[in-house]
Homo-oligomer: A and B are copies of this chain.
Amino acid sequence: MPLVDKLLGRPLASSEAKSERIGPAAGVPTFGLDALSSAAYGPEAALTILLPLGALGLGYIMPITAAIVVLLAIVYFSYRQTIAAYPGGGGSYTVAHENLGDYAGLLAAAALATDYVLNVAVGISAGVGALISAAPALQPHTLGLCLGILALLTVVNLRGVREAGLVFMAPTYLFVASLVSIIGWGVWLTLASGGRLHPAVAPPAMKPVAEAASIWIVLRAFASGCTAMTGVEAVSNGVQAFREPVVDNARRTLTIIIAILIVLLLGIAWLVQVYHIGATQPGSAQYQSILSQLIGAVAGRGAVYWIAISSILMVLCLSANTSFADFPRLCRAVAENSFLPHSFANRGRRLVYTEGIWVLAVLSGVIITAFGGVTDRLIPLFAVGAFLAFTMSQAGMVAHWRKQRERRHIGSMFINGLGALATAATVVVVILAKFVEGAWMVVLLVPALMAVMFAVRRHYDRDAVQTQGPQCISTKGLKPPLVVVPVENWTKVSEKALRFALTLSRDVIALHIECGEQTKSLRQEWPACVEQPAEKAGLGAPKLVVLKSPFRFVIQPIVDHVLKLEHEHADRTIAVVLPELIERRWYEYFLHNQRGKLLAALLLLQGDRRIVIVNVPWYLT
């Protein structure tokens, strides 16, 4: 196990859980990377939609950003309340499930799960895509780079929440520091220039007007810009990852994340306007991202530019980490209500929910591979899941406050109600604006996931009803089993099996398939070799039953005979003793027949509750 230890760290005892918890400093990279990195693509997405309006489009970016910031503020206050109300972790699923019931809960869970998986795939390939536009020589390795980063994220997260937070701290704060200072510098320059602003590197001229402004295009730009808000819900879901005082630390982390995000969004919108920076056509040779133009305009193309650009690339790649922190917690919460396999709730060697991490890695790996590492087309699908989850969570909080029936909660209820309405409206806008581009997939996928989760729950419910503990153990009608030992020929292996059979019961039957010489000698040896010694020792004499098999089948005649015995002896358990040769080397598998395994499987599948399999091992040295 030392290799595993090296890769994943030593196992952590359950009692060490407390010391694994994190504060706001590590909480921002752990739960905030998704939200913060979206500053890099949210404004860009909105401006791209405004492209046909030419320079006129820039006039809309400030109002659209303001609307998004207002929405963000509403969502922020709602989630602050959620964190206080659910200090055990109040993701959309938990809140919606507890207050609005199974359907609402699973709707939130399915939407969020879709969002998280997409986020990993899109985040990693966006980062790698940006890297490749900087170093085109890496182009042929796109898929390999994506999967490599995915593997890295998987391993780091398997090492535990704390470690992931620490590892990703440096790039996160580099990103925040460089972007915030560039924005500050830019704002200072514009204010100081007194209207005669000279960009260090002039952004490309904007395209001429191709379309008149319409409400529809503004709504679509808003819907696209809303991708800037994905990832905001992560903190409230992961409250339990914070150290005491849990609620304060979680709230502080959320505040930091939202504050930075608002500064970035407003700053970018302002600078884009004053520097006349517009989106360039994605995929064209002239393509240059908004942030690249903006940083160039403010700071020129020196060292600062490259530091800022590389921190953006890194944060894009690592934004997938938020999914890794949250998806396993979501699955755990759902699994604890039996809507997903219970194994999602097992904490692995490093106290994280290992199975969720693996499932996330595999699903997003499959998506990345299917799209060859270029997942641009998936970006529109994003916001639907996130906003659906926001809405369910806010609506759940409204129901939560209503249940309390206290005057002093009316304010809280109002905030959450406003949040629910605003995010619900956004869901509608996003679905309408993005339906053809791919939002229809989410509209199909979410109900399908919900159906699966309900099916899992039904299975567990049926299971629970059937296995529910009897008051006490019943000792009525306990009889020693009828023991059956298939015997091919007389060896030490069959002797060991028969000896064990004799310790279980006085009724032992040796089954043998007729097979020429072997049968003859077995019949001859049986009385003196087995029957008489057993009788002399005061044990029941094992009976030799020879079965004919005209078609040379070996397994089916034994199965049939055992089933017949089970039928004839309605009050007894039939124990089938199978000598099993233990292969310690893989190639030995081919040298011995595997009939025992097949026989056991068939007996268990075809048997009717009273057949029990006993494996008596035999070792070759």
Known interface pairs A474-B499, A612-B615; 20 further A-B residue pairs with C-beta atoms within 8 A, sorted by A's residue number: A11-B551, A13-B550, A341-B592, A349-B551, A469-B489, A469-B492, A469-B495, A470-B492, A472-B528, A473-B529, A473-B530, A473-B533, A475-B536, A478-B537, A480-B503, A481-B504, A584-B605, A604-B615, A604-B617, A609-B619
Contacts of A494 in B (CB 8 A): 469
Q: Is A491 an interface residue (CB 8 A)?
A: yes
Q: Nearest 8 A-B pairs (CB), nearest first?
A: A475-B537, A13-B550, A467-B491, A469-B490, A613-B615, A11-B551, A472-B529, A467-B492
Task: Give the distance in Å from the alpha carbon of A584 to the alpha carbon of B611 in the complex.
Answer: 16
Contacts of A528 in B (CB 8 A): 472
Find residues 521-570 in chain A having any chain B CB closer than 8 Å to their own CB. Answer: 528-530, 533-534, 536-537, 539, 550-553
Interface mask (A500-526 → B, CB under 8 Å = 1, otherwise 0) = 101110000000000000000000000
Q: Which residue of B lies closest to A338 (CB)?
A: B591
Q: Is A259 an interface residue (CB 8 A)?
A: no
Interchain nearest-CB distance for A612 vs B (Å): 5
Q: Is A163 an interface residue (CB 8 A)?
A: no
Interchain nearest-CB distance for A588 vs B (Å): 7
Contacts of A489 in B (CB 8 A): 469
The one of B504, B582, B609 that contacts A617, using a Cβ cutoff of 8 Å: B609
Are B498 and A473 within 8 A (Cβ)? yes
Are B14 and A534 within 8 A (Cβ)? no
Interchain nearest-CB distance for A13 vs B (Å): 4
Using A13-B551, A552-B346, A591-B460 as known contacts, say yes or no to A499 and B473 having CB atoms under 8 A apart: yes
Q: List 28 A-B contacts (CB under 8 A).
A: A341-B590, A456-B591, A466-B492, A466-B620, A466-B621, A467-B492, A467-B618, A469-B490, A470-B492, A471-B529, A472-B529, A472-B530, A473-B495, A473-B499, A474-B499, A475-B502, A475-B536, A475-B539, A478-B503, A481-B504, A500-B573, A582-B604, A582-B605, A584-B605, A604-B615, A607-B617, A612-B614, A615-B615
Interchain nearest-CB distance for A608 vs B (Å): 8
Find residues 371-430 in chain A having any chain B CB closer than 8 Å to their own CB. Answer: none
Q: Is A443 an interface residue (CB 8 A)?
A: no
Q: Which residue of B lies closest to A481 (CB)?
A: B503
Q: Is A19 an interface residue (CB 8 A)?
A: no
Are B469 and A491 within 8 A (Cβ)? yes
Interface mask (A139-153 → B, CB under 8 Å = 1, otherwise 0) = 000000000000000
What is the total number of copies of this protein in its complex? 2
Contacts of A502 in B (CB 8 A): 475, 478
Find residues 55-88 in chain A having any chain B CB closer than 8 Å to their own CB. Answer: none
Interchain nearest-CB distance for A531 vs B (Å): 9
Find residues 571-612 in chain A having any chain B CB closer than 8 Å to their own CB. Answer: 573, 575, 580, 582, 584, 588, 590-593, 600, 604-605, 607, 609, 611-612
Q: Is A479 an interface residue (CB 8 A)?
A: yes
Task: Give the distance in Å from the alpha carbon of A495 to the alpha carbon of B480 in the complex.
Answer: 16
Contacts of A503 in B (CB 8 A): 478-481, 573
Interchain nearest-CB distance for A345 vs B (Å): 11
Are A463 and B582 within 8 A (Cβ)? no
Task: Give the distance in Å from the alpha carbon of A341 to the alpha carbon of B583 in the complex.
Answer: 14
Interchain nearest-CB distance for A143 vs B (Å): 25
Interface mask (A349-389 → B, CB under 8 Å = 1, otherwise 0) = 10000000000000000000000000000000000000000
Are B462 and A474 within 8 A (Cβ)? no
Are A492 and B468 within 8 A (Cβ)? yes
Interface mask (A1-20 → B, CB under 8 Å = 1, otherwise 0) = 00000000001111100000
Q: Which residue of B lies closest to A471 (CB)?
A: B529
Using A593-B343, A617-B607 as known contacts, say yes or no to A491 and B468 having CB atoms under 8 A apart: yes
Contacts of A495 in B (CB 8 A): 469-470, 473-474
Q: Which residue of B lies closest to A521 (CB)?
A: B469
Q: Is A299 an interface residue (CB 8 A)?
A: no
Q: Is A218 an interface residue (CB 8 A)?
A: no
Contacts of A491 in B (CB 8 A): 467-469
Q: Is A207 an interface residue (CB 8 A)?
A: no
Task: Give the distance in Å from the alpha carbon of A616 to the alpha carbon of B614 in the complex.
Answer: 9
Contacts of A473 in B (CB 8 A): 495, 498-499, 529-530, 533-534
Interchain nearest-CB distance for A524 vs B (Å): 12
Task: Give the distance in Å from the alpha carbon of A554 to the alpha carbon of B368 in the complex.
Answer: 35
Q: Which residue of B lies closest to A469 (CB)?
A: B490
Task: Give the distance in Å from the alpha carbon of A13 to the alpha carbon of B604 in the complex.
Answer: 28
Q: Is A493 an interface residue (CB 8 A)?
A: yes
Q: Is A342 an interface residue (CB 8 A)?
A: yes
Residue among A480, A551, A575 facing the most chain B CB atoms (10 A cut-off): A551
Q: Is A459 an interface residue (CB 8 A)?
A: yes
The one of B15, B462, B504, B582 that contacts A504, using a Cβ cutoff of 8 Å: B504
Contacts of A593 in B (CB 8 A): 342-343
Interchain nearest-CB distance for A482 vs B (Å): 11
Task: Give the distance in Å from the alpha carbon of A77 to the alpha carbon of B600 in the complex.
Answer: 53
Contacts of A536 in B (CB 8 A): 475
Contacts of A480 in B (CB 8 A): 503-504
Task: Give the distance in Å from the alpha carbon of A614 to the alpha carbon of B462 in the complex.
Answer: 26
Contacts of A346 in B (CB 8 A): 552
Find residues 447-471 in chain A having any chain B CB closer than 8 Å to their own CB. Answer: 456, 459-460, 462-463, 466-471
Task: Give the distance in Å from the alpha carbon of A582 to the alpha carbon of B600 in the complex.
Answer: 12
Q: Is A198 an interface residue (CB 8 A)?
A: no
Task: Give the distance in Å from the alpha carbon of A12 to the alpha carbon of B551 in the complex.
Answer: 6
Contacts of A301 in B (CB 8 A): none
Interface mask (A175-209 → B, CB under 8 Å = 1, otherwise 0) = 00000000000000000000000000000000000
